[in-house]
Every structure is written in structure tokens, then in C-alpha cells.
Amino acid sequence: MTTNNTGASKRTAATKSTRAKSTGTKSTAPAKAGAPASTGSPEASAHAAVAASKSAGDEITKALKDAAHAAIGFGVIGWNKAQVRRRELMKDLNIQRHQVETQLDGAKEQLATAIRHLDSRIEPVRHDIEAQLDKFSERLPEQVKEIVASARKVARDTEHQVRQAVGAL
């Protein structure tokens, strides 16, 4: 708890000032608070230096905190922008994927139609070739007949798989 002794300290300072004038010496009264100690004692200079360094340290700490907060803020903003851009890219890619799938479905349908059309034209020729192969395989030895029959079956199965893959069935 502090007491208000301003009247007493003014009287003491005035007395010291009067003595200094009469004796020709300087007053050793303490400097006002907040005023720099120009010719004070080494303790006062040290105290002033400590106070100044503490103030500078506090300012540096505050500046570093502000810089850290700004860096974190920019990081958060950057992260948010990246997320928004990622969502936009995913949307664009989905649209493009849908377009490509639609085009592929159209191309697949065109290919299936072309295969069906070609089949209708080739079927009579295929039927004749199959009849000729049947006649020819009758003259072959038994072991060779089995190999030819197996090869013809593999060819039919492969053709069926290809037609199924392109939707021509």
C-alpha cells in the first residue's frame, strides 16, 4: 500500500535544491519516473538497462508470436484452398470420366453392330467352310481327327468370348 507523500517529497526536493544553490553542488534527488537517468549511479544505469532489455525482449516475443500466428493462418488458408481445388478437380474428373464412358459405350455398340452385320454376310461362307472341314476330317486318322476337332472347339470358344466381350451376342 502506498501513501501519498507528494507534499513532503516536494519540500525535500526544494530544500536540496536550495542547499545546492547555496553550496554550489548538484542535487542528488532521484529522477522522475520514466525519465532516463543521465548522470545517476551505476545501479540506476544497470536498472534502466535491465528494464530496457526486458522491454525489447517483450517486443521481440510479441513480434514472434504475431509472425507464428500469421504463418499458421496462411497455412490454414492454403490448406482450405487446396481442399477446394481438390474437390473441383474430382468433380471435373468425374464429368470427364462419364463422358469417356459414354463415348466408349457408343463405340462398343457400333462395333457390336458391325460384327453382327459382318456375321450375317459371312455366315453362308462359314457354313460352307465348316461342311468342307467336316468332309476333310472324316478322311484323317483318328488321332489327327481329335486334334482338329479340339482346335475347332478352341476357335469357337475364343470367338464366343470375344463376341461376349464386345456385346455382339
- DSSP output for 30-46: PPPTTS--SS--HHHHH
- Concatenated DSSP letters of 48-84: HHHHHHHHHHHHHHHHHHHHHHHHHHHHHHHHHHHHH
pLDDT of residue 102: 95
| pLDDT tens per residue across span 45-95 | 888 888 888 888 889 999 999 999 999 999 999 999 999 999 999 999 999
Tell me if 50 sits within 8 A of 37, measured CB to CB.
no
CA angle 59, 65, 70 (to 5 degrees): 125
Tell me if 115 sits within 8 A of 163, measured CB to CB.
yes
Q: Using only the alpha carbons of the chain, give its radius of gyration.
A: 52
pLDDT of residue 168: 62
Most confident of 2-11, 49-58, 94-103, 132-141: 94-103
Using CA atoms, how far apart are residues 105 and 99, in angstroms rounded to an integer?
10
Residue 26 pLDDT > 60: no
Band the pLDDT of 163: cuts 50, 70, 90. confident
pLDDT of residue 43: 86
* pTM recorded for the entire structure: 0.41
pLDDT of residue 169: 59
CB atoms < 10 A from the CB of 117, how many?
10
